[in-house]
Structure 1
């Protein structure tokens, strides 16, 4: 059941990116809440917050290692970890694969969700896969730090 979630995360991510390309690419941002939330098309050739631009091979190698490590861990230790840790790892896995598909297929990751805090801070544009990666990472880190990961 949890592995079906990986597929659902990937499908949700890829469909949302397809829509971003179709409806946002080459157009002005679609403002949902003025000076707070908008949808805008961005091609991210780097990592989170646009760091390490144009390192496609590096990101493909690192992401491959991360994906294989998560799959190995889930297969080997699935019986001894709790459902929350599995859920966090599944979110990480689905998000990583979603962005991995973009890097292999396009050479960059499609980002389109943009938040601003007033007129002062413009949060980096992100996508659905990024949301799952961040939430999954927070969940896994919290469980590990609190020593609450075994079943």
Structure 2
């Protein structure tokens, strides 16, 4: 099931990025809620907040190594671990794969979600952040309960 989540999330990410690339000019912005949320097409050759711009190959390699490591870990744990941990790892992998695909095939990451007070980002970034948020919930709330059950 978690592989389906990963595949579906990556497909949605890539489909939306393709729609943005195909229908918008670079730096074009479309207000959804004027002054609060816009769709703004940019090409990010760096990592988060455009750090390390121009180092697309190195960023793709680092992201690929981390993503493969998480995917292997996910595969090993899939039958013995709580669903929240598996879902968090699945979202992190999906986000990593979505942005790796951009870096490999386009040499940049398509960013378009513009909250006007935050750097522009994309769905893959949302997946990674949500996955990390779920992982934090798992570590602080679920894992202690599971350890308590094992001690009994």
Residue in structure 2 matched with residue 102 of structure 1 by the alignment: 102
Residue in structure 2 matched with residue 78 of structure 1 by the alignment: 78
1:1-151 maps to which residues of 2 (within 5 A)?
1-26=1-26, 28-116=28-116, 122-146=117-141, 148=143
| Cα distance, 1:145 vs structure 2 | 3.8
Structure 2 counterpart SS, 1:110:
strand
Greater Cα radius of gyration, structure 1 or 2: 2
Q: Which protein, 1 or 2, shows the higher relative CO under an 8 Å CA cutoff with sep ≥ 6?
A: 1
Aligned length in residues? 146
How far does the alpha carbon of each residue in 1:45-92 deviate from its partner, in whole angstroms, 9 at most, with x for none? 111111111111221221111111111101212222100110010101
TM-score (norm 1): 0.89
Structure 2 counterpart SS, 1:148:
helix
Q: Does the Cα contact within 8 Å between 1:44 and 1:110 map onto a contact in 2? A: yes
TM-score (norm 2): 0.89
| Cα distance, 1:27 vs structure 2 | 6.2
Structure 2 counterpart SS, 1:113:
strand
Structure 2 counterpart SS, 1:46:
coil
The answer for unaligned runs of 5 or more in structure 1 is 117-121
Residue in structure 1 matched with residue 150 of structure 2 by the alignment: none
Query: What RMSD in Å do the two structures reach over aligned CA positions?
Result: 1.7
Q: Does the Cα contact within 8 Å between 1:13 and 1:128 map onto a contact in 2? A: yes
